[in-house]
Amino acid sequence: TQLLEQSPQFLSIQEGENLTVYCNSSSVFSSLQWYRQEPGEGPVLLVTVVTGGEVKKLKRLTFQFGDARKDSSLHITAAQPGDTGLYLCAGVRGYGGSQGNLIFGKGTKLSVKP
């Protein structure tokens, strides 16, 4: 059972277009993280959202955490070829100090064509 569902699984767009990637779950997470992974490399953390309803911006990327802390979205404005990669959301379960267990979605493979 996939605890975190990401959609779409694949996305191919032209440079300059906008896009949104979704991460949904029936479980509540204490926080949600978004990573970007390129071929042959490990995932790199982009952002962590903690508070329900929180919105964070990172240049052309906007991240939102749902009010109930069960879902999140990533919006990219004016996509560029350098944005190409695998975008993963990951949920941090539980509260307190331990971060022993990240639950990852399957990822969204984004291709931005020049």
Partner 1 sequence: GAGVSQTPSNKVTEKGKYVELRCDPISGHTALYWYRQSLGQGPEFLIYFQGTGAADDSGLPNDRFFAVRPEGSVSTLKIQRTERGDSAVYLCASSLEGRSTDTQYFGPGTRLTVL
Half-sphere exposure of 16 (CA within 13 A, CB side): 1
Q: Cα(68)–Cα(54) distance, rounded to whole angstroms?
A: 11
When asked if residue 15 is in the footprint of partner 1 (CB under 8 A), the reply is no
Q: Which of 1, 59, 82, 96 binds partner 1 (CB under 8 A)?
A: 96
**105 touching partner 1, by CB under 8 A:** yes
Per-residue tokens: 55:
């919105």
The region, left, alpha or beta by phi > 0 then psi within -120 to 50, assigned to residue 70 is: alpha
Going residue by residue from 26 to 65, which x/- string records binding to partner 1, judged by CB under 8 A? ----xx--------xxxxxx--x-----------------
Please give the Cα distance from 53 to 66 (Å, whole number): 5
CB of 11 to partner 1, least distance (A): 15
Residues of this chain that bind partner 1 (CB under 8 A):
4, 6, 30-31, 40-45, 48, 88, 90, 92, 95-107
